[in-house]
Every structure is written in structure tokens, then in C-alpha cells.
Amino acid sequence: MTRPTDTDRVVIFDTTLRDGEQSPGATMSHEEKLEIAGLLDDMGVDIIEAGFPIASEGDFRAVSEIAKIAKNAVICGLSRANFKDIDRNWEAVRHAKQPRIHTFIGTSPLHRAIPNLTQDEMADLIHETVSHARNLCDNVQWSPMDATRTEWDYLARVVEIAIKAGATTINIPDTVGYTAPVESADLIRRLIAEVPGADEVVFSTHCHNDLGMATANSLAAVAGGARQIECTINGLGERAGNTALEEVVMALKVRHDIMPWTTGIDSTKIMNISRRVSAVSGFPVQYNKAVVGKNAFAHESGIHQDGMLKNPQNFEIMRPEDVGLADTNLVMGKHSGRAALRAKLKDLGFEMGDNQLKDVFVRFKELADRKKEVYDDDLIALVGVTADPESDHLKIKSLKVVCGTEGPQSAELVMLVDGEEKHTVQTGDGPVDASFNAVKALFPHEARLQLYQVHAVTEGTDAQATVSVRLEERGRIFSGQSADTDTVVASVRAYVHALNRLVVRRAKTGPDSDRREISYKDVS
């Protein structure tokens, strides 16, 4: 058999919908998960880790439906080291054209202490659970969580056990972002060289970014012989995030001279999915983020601008169009028609259905009447805040605010609550606070405002503001986004968007249903 590590193909394993979505506040709706899965499949991701089926009924349903609709990608679910988790996982992914079961357990001394297992007890559990998974599915991935802080002798022992039990992929997670590139490469290289059977499986790397080295550690692991990289769009993930898909893909593409490995990713689709993940997760991409940040291809320095005019390669190591970024910025105006808008959005990477285009076109016309110039980023913002059709419990009818240097500021709000028109006037510490108080007066709730962010989409006093709001109720997170040239209006719409999602979740699970927490207590 040809060793998987001898090939030049690197498999991209995307875990945006599982590890990325576990980032506090990044919870996505069911429809958004299906949309993102479709975009990942379309761009050439090899394996989509669609969720944690045992975590909740919603997670199970999302993984199951993604498994049924996936066209090309392997669909994977995550499960802890027990039969119940693995069985539920298999039930969710079994309808995929190419299903995979991923099971894990924490093997470092700190993580072994959580279920209070000895080394031998854990070794036996690994053999039993991996064997059980392999009896259900011929594509099994096993991960020793916190592998980079696990004693070498024990790590080698349990990797060998997992291989003998039938694992086809061995993932080596740097769960807390602790390792460094030279260690990452050496660990993979040593496992392949010294563990019996290692030459018959694919080794994978899963790195977190706590020390800012996730991408470097992942690429180093590939140099050491790993042929699968686990990553997320925009580097989304818990704490400081995960390895960013866009960074490893473009690094391998740009520096193919020293990293002679390829992926199956269509890089021209990167910007589109980056924007959608940012919009649905409520996590804005930092301006100077590599590859997909707003400033990634911007040049302000006079020396840089002069060099760019003479030859873009002076200061750009990749072309904007390589990642799906349009090279024009101002085209649309109030006289532009629907066909022109559709064509422009297609250039920006958005394929729109008729109903969605109709919604965006109405709001585009409204924006064009208020703005002198409509930029690409304005259009992207409009697409990113398209209304959720199932969330119409609350609708803003009118909003008037009074603000100035002398307080308190006030807000007069007329809102439809389940079709019934309600009216109130409330005060607050500023127009946004007053407006939020008005919403809460008409729709009383106990949700806590966890995040409120405002970003200008473009330059100028008539720039659109994009607002992200994150609410927390009984351990469940609800995000809302909106964009408008009036910051207060955008803020209230984003707040109402989040509340509508809260109402939808209540209707499905009941007002007293807490978000289920996953712990090691169920491991047996």
C-alpha cells in the first residue's frame, strides 16, 4: 500500500459548523448551517464536520440533513468515547454518500483526570469505542484530545491501539494552542516513524491559535507527514480560534515552491464564504486579518501606492481575484436595475434566488436613494443581513429618537408583536439605549445583552453601519445583524433580529429548556 504521507495532496477538513460554532456567541440557525455546508461543499472542502449529534436534537437534525444533501464532501460527526455518542453519530451521518465517524477522548494527564481513568482503563476504552465505530462505518477518525501535552510513551501507545482497532485517520490535536512549529512537525514525524501501522493511516492536525501559531503549526505538521488539516473559515473557534482555512490554502498556493502540496479548494470562493460565516456567526473579520480582512489588499502608504501602480506584484503576493475579491468598487446607483444588481452580486460571489434577489433589490433601492455612492461593501452588507423568513414575530413599524447633549435621550417606537401594533416612549443613556428600552417595554424578556458591535461599512458620513447584537437567555445564545445608514435604526433592527431568533427557539424547545451542556460525565 502507498503511504498516504508520500502523496502531495492535503485533505481539508472543515470544522466551522462544529468547533467553530462552539465559539461563545457563534451559534448558527438550522438554515444557516445548511447554507454554510452547501458553500463548503461547493468550494471543494474534502470533509465537513457538520456537528456534534449527541449535543442536542437541533445538532442531530442539522448533521443528518447536511449528510443527505452533500454532493461531494465526506460528512463527519463528532462523538465522545462512549457507545451512545457513537451510535447517535452514526444515525446522523449514515445517509451521506461518504460518511465518517469522528470519536475522541482527552489523553493528557489533565484530561485523563476529568473522567478519572487510569492509563490502562483509558486504553481499554479507546479500543472498545474505536472498534465499535469501525463496525458501523469504514471511515473512522480518532483524536487524542490535548495530544501535544500528552506523555510521548502514552500517546504512541494509544495511537497504536486506535490504529489496530480500525481508525483510518489519526488526528493529533493541539487543543489549547500550546505547541510550536518545530514541535508540531517533529511529533507527526516521530509518530509515523515509530508507531506500528502508522504508515497505513492518514495523520491529521488540529491546531488552536492561543499563541498565534495555529496556521504555522498546521503547515509544519504537513511538513512532518500529516496529510489532513482541520480548520475553520475565518479561523472561527473557541478562545483565540482555530487554524484558518483561507490561510493554509493560500499559503500552500502562494508558496508552492517550498511547500509542494496541493488542496482541492477553489480559492476564488473564499471571500464569499468568509463574508457569510461572518454575517451568520455575528463575528466580524478583523480589518488586518490575513487573506480575507478588509485591509488585506488595501494600500495607503504613498510608497506602496506608487509601487502598486507600477506593478501590483511589488506589494501583493497574491491577486485579489485569487480569493474571489472584485477589483472594482463603485458601479451601482439608484438608476441600476435588477439585472445589473444580479450581475454585480454574481461578480461578488453571490448566486441569488429570485425571492432573495427581490428582497435585496428593495433594500438596495432604499439605500441608493439615501447614499450618493453604493459600494461593493454596501451590497455585501445588504446580502449579509437578508431577513430570516421564519423570524417575523416582531416587526419595527416606526422609530423616532430624540438625542443631544442634554439627557435623558428618548425613543418613540411603534412595533408589531405577532401582528398587534404596540406603541411606547422610553428614555435611556443615549439613543441606542433608549431604543433598546423601548423594544424591551413592548416585548418584555430576560435576555442579557452580551455583545453590541458597530462597524462602518464604507467611508463617509453617509456610510452604512453594520451592527451585531448577541443576546443570552438561559445559557442559549442568539445573534442578530443589520445594516443601515442610520446607526440607531441598524441597532434596533439587529436587536429585534436576535429577539426573533429567541422566539423561534422558544417555540421549538419551550421557554424553560436550557441549552444542553456537553461534559465528560456521560463518558462510560
Domain residue spans of the chain:
4-281, 295-323, 326-384, 394-509
The CATH topology of domain 4-281 is: TIM Barrel (3.20.20)
The answer to whether the annotation marks 206 as part of a ligand binding site is yes
The answer to whether the annotation marks 174 as part of a ligand binding site is no
More confident residue, 327 or 30: 30
Q: Could you identify the residue written with the cell 436587536?
A: 495
Dump pLDDT digits (tens) for 235-246.
999 999 999 999
What local confidence, expressed as pLDDT, does residue 481 receive?
83
Q: Could you identify the residue written with the cell 490535548?
A: 146
What local confidence, expressed as pLDDT, does residue 301 receive?
45
The answer to whether the annotation marks 393 as part of a ligand binding site is no
243, 235 contact by CB (below 8 A): yes
For the chain, the farthest-separated pair of C-alpha atoms sits apart, in whole angstroms, at: 78
Strand spans (E) along 198-284: 202-207, 228-231
Model pTM?
Answer: 0.79
Dump pLDDT digits (tens) for 34-56.
999 999 999 999 999 999 999 98
Q: Which grid cell is 487?
A: 446607526
Give the mean pLDDT of 238-260: 96
Looking at the DSSP assignment, which residues form a beta bridge with residue 420?
A: 417
Q: Is cis: bond before 408, omega within 30 of 0?
A: yes
More confident residue, 274 or 4: 274
Q: pLDDT > 90: what percent of the chain?
A: 59
The answer to whether the annotation marks 19 as part of a ligand binding site is yes
Give the mean pLDDT of 445-470: 84
Q: Could you identify the residue written with the cell 482541492?
A: 264
Dump pLDDT digits (tens) for 327-348.
544 457 777 788 888 887 877 7
Reported confidence tier of residue 389, pLDDT bands at 50, 70, 90:
very low
Q: Which grid cell is 287?
A: 480589518
Would you say domain 394-509 falls under CATH 3.30.160.270? yes
Phi then psi dihedrals of residue 399, to 5 deg:
-145, 130
105 membership: H or E segment, kind and range:
strand 99-106
Task: Give dist(CA 415, CA 255) in Å, integer.
Answer: 55
pLDDT at 494 over 80: yes
Mean of per-residue pLDDT scores for the chain:
87
Looking at the DSSP assignment, which residues form a beta bridge with residue 477?
A: 472
Task: Give dist(CA 175, CA 179) in Å, integer.
Answer: 9
Dump pLDDT digits (tens) for 188-199.
999 999 999 999
Q: Do domains 4-281 and 394-509 have the same CATH topology?
A: no
Give the mean pLDDT of 209-231: 98
